[in-house]
Amino acid sequence: MKKFLNLCIIIALAYACCGKGNSLEEKVENTLSQLTLEEKVALTHAQSKFSSGGVPRLGIPELWHTDGPHGIRPEVLWDEWVQAKWTNDSCTAFPCLENLAATWDRELSALYGKSIGEEARYRKKDVLLGPGVNIGRTPLNGRTFEYMGEDPFLASEMVVPYIKGVQSNGVAACVKHFAVNNQEVRRTGTSSNVDDRTMYEIYLPAFKAAVQEGGAWAIMGSYNLWNNQFNCHNERLLKDILKGEWGFDGIVVSDWGGCRDDDEAAANGLDIEMGTWVDPDLEVEGASNLYNLYHLANPYLERLRDGRASMEDLDDKARRVLRTIYRTSMSEEKHFGSFTSPEHFAAGRKIAADGIVLLKNDGALPLNIPQGGRILLVGENAYKMMTVGGGSSSLKTKHEIIPLDALREAFAGKADVIWERGYVGDTTTDYNLVVTGQDLSESRSPEQLLADALAAAKDADQVIFIGGLNKSKNQDKEGTDRLDIVLPYGQDALIEALAEVCPNLVVVNISGSPVAMPWASKVNAIVQSWYGGSESGHALADVLTGAVNPSGKLPFTMPFALADGPLKTQRQYPGIKEEGKQWWQEYYDEGVFVGYRWYSSKGIPVQYPFGYGLSYTTFELSGAKLSASSIKAGKEVSATIMVKNTGSVAGAEVIQLYVNDEDASVERPARELKGFQKVFLEPGASAKISFKIKPEHLSFFDADAHSWKLEPGDFHILIGTSSENLPFDLPLKVS
């Protein structure tokens, strides 16, 4: 009888906390009023590697977090990073976020978010640790592949549908890494020193859009410092800007190990502390109890009890955590999700293919192979699986289709597809006990690999080099940065040698960040592919064969050389050690001149510009005009342009709108992206594209006034198909 009464009490309490029909805020306040001090504190820190506490007494479940932005991480043990070796946690691996950004397609971003959110919900995850929207300040950043390009407007437009798609499943999107976490080298001990104008114009817009337009329920703090205070408890970043100026009502979660100080963690806006590294010698009661040593655990309780920490701040943290729980696992609208469904693999294939960028084509593509022909693939990336490795985005996927297998499938019964390795890059096939099952061992010398590739090329009807980067150290990998943008493993020399013997050479670069292409003039076609997830091979084969007409556009600039970029000094990157300062100091002296803003403003030629990408068809733009020749504060103007498919193949084009301020009182870039639309057209079809130009699109951030400023003067509205192909220049006066 006693057990029955206890159960009734628990049910009654749970009903009182979250009774059906109560508003979200009523549920939160009802529950908060019943919590003890200890229960509130338990909500604010981890209880395992990937979960934070709930309130068992009231039937309030814990929050379960999961990596990552490209797929649902395999399960790990409760107290360790080691894989739990489940047999039912092999997920759908979606394309990397740089691949998604390259689609320039908001609808595909929504599909991506919806699909990955369904996978998270099926696995009973409440917080998805992604997407990432840090701006590509340098092509050396090891996590460039996890982000959405070098432009704040593009990242802002692409992140919003992703968030809405994820959260439609009752899963919180945790947007990361907030903020100015633009390098991996010394990421936990470097202060990113950035002025306010640069922050507000370049590095904050995507996060602001995520909060105010996407309605993100969670934000992850970054490892680095901003202006010498750690970002996981940076007062100005979290309290003043995020929760103050932007009105964010969700949770701030620390990156794993990013919380560094007892007092700042308590006072400066951090809501949930995860993954803090605790010395096991400090605790003798077992690994699980180490969570009590977190900054927001026993040390926090002590500060609350003796008055060093604010009860008001504690209630704010608890309130936000409860709000997140009621939005996710305790939502009145039940979500069940789905996992590794045919629809998810199809979505991944579609996104991967639509983000592939055709950089050059002298008639080599789509492939036209004679019956009984012979296709030679050269390069390790034609064979190597890429979903395993790279850091926290590493996945255990149900399957991964490699380019070699996909092209053999595409040409079955038509042509033989053979493979020569050509070079040895990364032979590892496992990460954190997830194993691909491939054998990448190699006994041949570099000289023999080259000789074998050249010999095979002489007998092939078509040679396709498939190389690029991988997810090993100093490439596209969390925790390390690249050393240069030159292709590793001697690939440049191999491509040059192939070009000498191949009259028709196609080069496919698989990477998540820019690479130099000194051989570009010597090859017939260049394709920029990405880490495309489970269906990466199929997506690439779709584009090469013409089953999919390429429509991807570069989300970053492809420079000729690293030295051409804006980061010229160690002070800018990777930072310097200064006397009297505890942390490494990095100065964003280039200001707002990041990516194409730098190259276009300085007149520096690039290999391929931001926003660039070719098609198997052709498009014609005409009739660009503005609805008015001037604009006033509080008003908006429309820009329209006609686009026609003048070729013989159906395809999609991305029309881009940039703004130039001719008379600014501050130094502004030569052009800034402020609009884009992707339009699909059948051969001969036309469409009218319309853009809304608002005063905020023309404004700059005035740091002294701490507000956006629209100055009177002459502006130019530039419309075209890349940051360097803008044939339409429409004058606009701000009066």
Domain boundaries, the chain: 35-81+89-327, 356-548, 617-734
Cis peptide before 559 (omega within 30 of 0): no
If you write DSSP's letter for every residue of 460-502 in order, what string do you get?
A: -SEEEEEEE--SSTTSS-TT---S-SS-STTHHHHHHHHHHH-
| Residue count (the chain) | 735
Across 204-230, average pLDDT: 98
Strand order in the sheet with 584-587: 229-230, 225-226, 190-193, 584-587
Tell me the pLDDT tens digit for each residue of 93-110: 999 999 999 999 999 999
Which pLDDT score, from 0 to 100, does residue 442 have?
97
Which residue did the predictor score with more confidence, 446 or 17? Answer: 446
Which pLDDT score, from 0 to 100, does residue 632 have?
84
Across 608-615, average pLDDT: 98
Considering only CA atoms, which of 153, 176, 155, 189 is closest in space to residue 69?
A: 176
Q: Tell me, what DSSP letter sits at residue 217? A: S
Whether domain 617-734 has CATH 2.60.40.10: the reply is: yes
Distance in angstroms (rounded) separating the CA atoms of residues 154 and 137? 14
Task: Say if residue 507's pLDDT is above 70.
Answer: yes
Active site amino acids? 255
Which pLDDT score, from 0 to 100, does residue 285 have?
42
Which pLDDT score, from 0 to 100, does residue 606 have?
98
Which pLDDT score, from 0 to 100, does residue 5 have?
47
Which pLDDT score, from 0 to 100, does residue 583 have?
97
Which pLDDT score, from 0 to 100, does residue 281 have?
62
Query: 35-81+89-327 has which fold?
Result: TIM Barrel (3.20.20)
Which pLDDT score, from 0 to 100, does residue 278 have?
80
Across 158-182, average pLDDT: 98
Which pLDDT score, from 0 to 100, does residue 290 have?
87
178 phi/psi in degrees, rounded to 5: -85, 105
Give the range among 59-63, 298-302, 428-432, 533-537 with minimum mean pLDDT: 428-432
Tell me the pLDDT tens digit for each residue of 536-578: 999 999 999 999 999 999 999 999 999 999 999 999 999 999 9
Q: Is 293 helix (H, G, I), strand (E, B) or coil?
A: helix
Q: Between the CA atoms of 93, 98, 103 and 106, what dihedral angle is there, to the nearest 10 degrees?
A: 90
- Per the prediction, the chain carries an average pLDDT of 95
Across 355-370, average pLDDT: 98
Q: Between the CA atoms of 283, 82, 337 and 54, what dihedral angle is there, to the nearest 10 degrees?
A: 0
Tell me the pLDDT tens digit for each residue of 372-410: 999 999 999 999 999 999 999 999 999 999 999 999 999
Which pLDDT score, from 0 to 100, does residue 287 have?
56
Q: Tell me, what DSSP letter sits at residue 592? A: T
pLDDT classification of 634: cutoffs 50, 70, 90? confident
pLDDT classification of 166: cutoffs 50, 70, 90? very high
378 phi/psi in degrees, rounded to 5: -120, 135
SS (H, E, C) 134-164: CCCCCCCCCCHHHCCCCCHHHHHHHHHHHHH
Which pLDDT score, from 0 to 100, does residue 542 have?
98
Quote helix, strand, coil % in the chain, to nearest 5.
Answer: 30, 20, 45
Contact 108/158 with Cβ under 8 angstroms? no
Which pLDDT score, from 0 to 100, does residue 188 have?
96
Distance in angstroms (rounded) separating the CA atoms of residues 340 and 122? 10
Dmax (CA) for the chain in angstroms is: 87
Tell me the pLDDT tens digit for each residue of 472-505: 999 999 999 999 999 999 999 999 999 999 999 9
Across 414-438, average pLDDT: 96
Considering only CA atoms, which of 281, 112, 131, 300 is closest in space to residue 216?
A: 131
Residues 6+ apart with CB under 8 A from 392: 67, 68, 73, 129, 478
Q: Is 597 helix (H, G, I), strand (E, B) or coil?
A: helix
Task: Say if residue 19's pLDDT is above 60.
Answer: no
Contact 510/381 with Cβ under 8 angstroms? yes
Strand order in the sheet with 51-52: 51-52, 63-66, 127-128, 172-178, 218-221, 251-253
Across 107-127, average pLDDT: 98
Task: Say if residue 284's pLDDT is above 90.
Answer: no
Q: Quick one: what percent of the chain has pLDDT higher than 70?
A: 96
Give me the amino acid identity at 646: T
pTM of the model: 0.95
Tracing tokens 């549920």 back to the chain, one arrives at 27
Distance in angstroms (rounded) separating the CA atoms of residues 173 and 94? 16
Task: Say if residue 234's pLDDT is above 80.
Answer: yes
Q: In the CATH scheme, what architecture does the domain 356-548 have?
A: 3-Layer(aba) Sandwich (3.40)
Tell me the pLDDT tens digit for each residue of 663-716: 899 999 999 999 999 999 999 999 999 999 999 999 999 999 999 999 999 999
Task: Say if residue 169's pLDDT is above 80.
Answer: yes
Across 238-262, average pLDDT: 97
If you write DSSP's letter for every residue of 623-682 in order, what string do you get?
A: EEEES-SEE-TT--EEEEEEEEE-SSS-EEEEEEEEEEETT-SS---S-EEEEEEEEEE-
596 token code pair: 């194409």
